A and B are shown apart, each in its own frame.
Chain A
Amino acid sequence: MRIGVFVCQCGTNIAATVDTEKAAAAGSLRDVHHAETIQYTCSDPGQRAIIDAIREKELTRVVIAACSPRMHETTFRRAVTRAGLNPFMMDMVNIREHCSWVHSDVDTATGKAIDLTSMGVARVRKQASLFSSKVPVTNRVLVIGGGVAGIQAALDIADAGLPVTMVERGPSIGGNMARLDKTFPTLDCSSCILTPRMVEANQHEQIDLMVNSEVDTVRGHVGNFEVDIRKKATCVIEEKCTGCMICQEKCPSRAPDEFNAGVGESKAISVPFPQAVPLVANLRKEHCRQFIRGKCGVCKKVCKSGAIDYEQEDEVTTERFGAIVVATGYEPYDWREAYPDYGGGQYPDVITSLQYERLLSASGPTGGHVRRPSDGEEPRQVVFISCVGSRDESVGRPFCCSVGCMYIAKQAILTKEHIPESQSYVFYIDIRAGGKGYEEFTRRAQKEYGAVYLRGRVGKIYPSKGKLMVMGTDTLSGEQVEIEADLVVLAAGFAAAEGAGELARKLNISYDQYEFLSESHPKLRPVETNTGGIFLAGACQGPKDIPGSVAQASAAAAKAIGLLSKGELETSPMVAAVNQTRCTGCFKCRDVCPYNAIEAVEARDGHQTARVVDSLCHGCGVCNVACPPAVISLKGYTDNQLIAETLELLR
């Protein structure tokens, strides 16, 4: 074994407090055949000096005492590779951040640098060459959720030439954006910009669209997931239905209108909304007379294409994917229980912003004429209350929904446009308008459209003579405010989509206490999850506006495309490995592994032993400690290396 020691002076960063010559003299250790100091090891001449020394002195291992390995480990691994060594035959010792920069006394710093360098030598002596393996990947991506984020991700991936399966649990794609009337701050018509994308996703030859479908189980790992997808029975044969809506017209059973957020009514069999993609009816058994009373059959009789099948059952298909994009979105926070002072849902004219959005929309239940739900009258005084179920510690929702201020401004503007005689009042905490053109937009609502902004919370809403009395405080003037409103619109906060936590557990990705899915790093890995090959897009990760969701969806798509572009995956070699001949098959390792990276294999004598799936293992080493017979070892951090390093210091 021939070890080389290189001590960096880092200009004077190290050399000012560490006598680097003395530290290099730690090179008198066993197996060290070369030691030198270099002014800047990371520079081009510095790296060349290392490479030359490796070649001339036939060094087989290298210790570089310099800055933090978090800074330059990759640099030096590449350098030794160029000299023909295995990249893991290099070990870095941190004598800058952990030594020269934090000690002013030369003797202390030099002594410590010598200790650290010898520890590095002891450690590299026990290092083995490591090789990353390659695994082939499945060239297909699963997109879960068909909102604007899911559509964007699916289109980006499909346009790159990769086949996509998009799974949507509702009867149509489009998500919450399809429910919106206009979008801030440009007042673009929401469906005019979204519907073409929905159609494109449906017609794209690389996209397989599955509505009324959910992910049942997920097996496998990055590059090769195996997913069971359940297509729920809707009693309508999708291929036969033409979307003519005659069944909906003739259906005698009323049902709540889910697309219109509960404003208005629908039928038990219905096309979710006129622009739905795919344009197919679906039957909700819980409201259908055929299923409740056992006889009706009207829709079957009137359907000319024979698309109705009451006997239809759930179908489960299994598909393989290389990557998964999760875009399950959000739903408005259900405010009713937490806010009894706002009527708790008892007053029909206290509605959520999403419901108001449907009243504003030309395709909504009122045909775009704003009518209040109780008596169909046109409201004159409209009160908007921001932060209902967001920024409110008292109901356990401390976070900001990030879009409320903006859509309130938008709805105040649209109210004035629909009803010029109307007056809007907005109760707010702070106006958060941090996007491009956002601040100007909120000012427009006030200046051009005359919306009155009142800083403060509303304490109580109560009905009085066919109107709603809204009592609040204007904290700027310090006065009590009472407004006689015809309609009250609550800006309900964001909640994770129902079942987001359950899906996260199926995917083995983490989520926070509100069931928003967690990204791998808040700054530098915002679309990755802690499970390789699974990416996040849109509001499932946290409250977001449309541009934010679309941008994140494109980012997630780029990550998925990048992952699959090479056709195979290189796995990190610093993973755990089991000595199978000595494994007792207790599977304590499997119990502690955060990544499900341990699988059972049958040994020749029939007993089960553990094996590490390299592509899943992240190299944390928790299993290494948990193993009772100590036969799992984390490569690059083996017990032998750690003991050698420790004992060297105490020698």
Chain B
Amino acid sequence: MKLIGFLCNWCSYAGADMAGTSRIQQPGDLHIVRMPCTGRINPLLILKAFQEGADGVLVSGCHPGDCHYNDGNYYARRRLELLARMLPAFGIASERFQYTWVSASEGARWAQVVDDFTERVRSLQ
């Protein structure tokens, strides 16, 4: 299974680092792409990933209000919520896409997100 995770550098990427430092085991399907901010994530890139055969796409950034760039994640939330609602119209199961917020200190939560998301997509296979 090929899962892609687009993570903001400041919160979720650091949160994933924290999960690693704490050695919290996770399934190995998710591949993380580092982004400066979730506000940088173009919904078209996610569609492109699905078009090319990604089994699932996960986006994670700073919690609303905590964005390193003040409000990049608010833009992300609007864009990604819209995308999430549009995906079924393209014939892509909505379970294959998720966006969430994980802070730099939430290593355990990150591992849980990866677990849940991987399981969710796997159940579709």
Contact = CB atoms under 8 A, between A and B. Distances in A.
Interface in A634-651: 634, 637, 639, 642-643, 645-647, 649-650
A622 B72 CA distance: 6
A112 interface: yes
A115 B54 CA distance: 14
Interface residues of A, number: 45
Contacts of B9: 70
Contact of B14 (A70, A103, A111, A592): A70
Given A622-B72, A649-B4, A650-B54, A115 B31 contact: yes
A625 B40 contact: yes
B86 interface: no
Contacts of A104: 25
A205 interface: no
Interface stretch (A91-99, A140-148, A550-558): A91-99
A618 B71 CA distance: 13
Contacts of B32: 94, 98
A598 to B, nearest CB: 14
Nearest to A509: B70
A19 to B, nearest CB: 14
A594 interface: yes
Interface in B22-74: 23-26, 28, 31-37, 39-43, 45, 48-49, 52-54, 68-72
A600 B53 CA distance: 41
Contacts of A109: 28
Contacts, number: 122
A335 B49 CA distance: 57
Contacts of B16: 97-98
Given A116-B31, A625-B40, A594 B72 contact: yes
Interface in A606-623: 618-622
Contacts of A111: 28
Contacts of B34: 69, 94
B125 interface: no
Contact of B37 (A99, A119, A621): A621
A217 interface: no
B69 A618 contact: yes
B17 interface: yes
A595 B69 CA distance: 9
A637 B36 contact: yes
A68 B20 contact: yes
A127 interface: no
B36 A620 contact: yes
A618 B2 CA distance: 32
Contact of A634 (B24, B36, B45): B36
A594 B70 CA distance: 7
A105 interface: yes
A119 B45 CA distance: 15
B25 A622 contact: no
B31 A112 contact: yes
A112 B29 CA distance: 8
B48 A101 contact: no
B78 to A, nearest CB: 11
B4 to A, nearest CB: 6
Contacts of B17: 68, 70-71, 94, 97-98
Interface in A580-630: 592, 594-595, 618-622, 624-626
Contacts of B68: 620
Contacts of B111: 102
A275 interface: no
A108 interface: yes
Contact of B71 (A594, A624, A643): A594
Interface in B77-103: 79
A622 B52 contact: no
A510 interface: yes
B21 interface: yes
A646 B72 contact: no
B9 to A, nearest CB: 7
Contacts of B23: 101-102
B91 to A, nearest CB: 18
B44 to A, nearest CB: 9
A60 B48 CA distance: 29
14 contacts: A94-B34, A96-B20, A98-B20, A102-B20, A102-B24, A112-B31, A119-B33, A530-B70, A592-B39, A620-B68, A624-B42, A637-B40, A646-B49, A647-B48
Given A70-B17, A646-B49, 16 more contacts: A94-B17, A98-B17, A98-B20, A102-B26, A112-B28, A115-B31, A621-B39, A622-B37, A622-B72, A624-B40, A637-B35, A642-B35, A645-B33, A646-B48, A646-B54, A647-B52
Question: Which 6 interchain pairs have the tightest Cβ spacing?
Answer: A97-B20, A621-B40, A620-B69, A622-B39, A108-B28, A594-B70
